[in-house]
Amino acid sequence: MRRIRHTTAPSPRCCARSGTHRAGRPAARSDAAGPGAPFLWWAWFYGCMIRISREEFEEAVDDALDSLPDEVARAIAQANVAILIEEEPLPEQADGAELLGLYEGIPLDQRSVFDGYAQPDRIFVFRGPLQRHAVSREHLVEEIAVTVLHEIGHLFGISDERLHELGWG
């Protein structure tokens, strides 16, 4: 599960739309950005989000999947997993957090041939939160890729802690 953490803004930045700033307001920082990474908190606070069409968003998800090595892509194809793009997470999925992506299912390293038939695992990529989180189109495409790879990591049984260590937080 990839979510946004809220911390105090280290320094205010001005919103080009309003010409104002609000020192000390919450700053959204991606888990992937790491400590001390710059984030333009006003983009989150004022709703200055980057918008791309649904088709462009789907293409960015496809590009992230195409970047995977062939062996990993084959394992995903055989894993009975659906990759879904949703506008927003459901309240019960979000649990009060701003989710960028979510993996629901049984990781490959915990599956057994004795499990019988199971519903497909699902990887959700949430379009709204990712667009609100991004400060540029390039940043949005990068965050889509990180989110897709992060959730695929969960499919393979990799914990959040390890994904953060690897830079896919």
Q: Do 44 and 28 meet the contact criterion of CB atoms below 8 Å apart?
A: yes
The model's pTM: 0.72
What would the CATH number be for the domain defined by 49-165?
3.30.2010.20
> Terminal CA-to-CA distance of the chain, rounded, Å?
9
pLDDT of the chain, 169 residues: tens digit per residue: 665 543 333 222 222 222 222 222 233 334 444 333 344 454 555 556 788 999 999 999 999 999 999 999 999 998 889 999 999 999 888 887 889 999 999 999 998 877 777 789 999 999 999 999 899 999 999 999 999 999 999 999 999 999 989 888 7
Distance CA 83, CA 102 (A): 10
Map out the domains of the chain as residue ranges. 49-165
Cα 100 from Cα 123, distance rounded (Å): 11
- Which residue, chain included where needed, has tokens 């497909």? 120
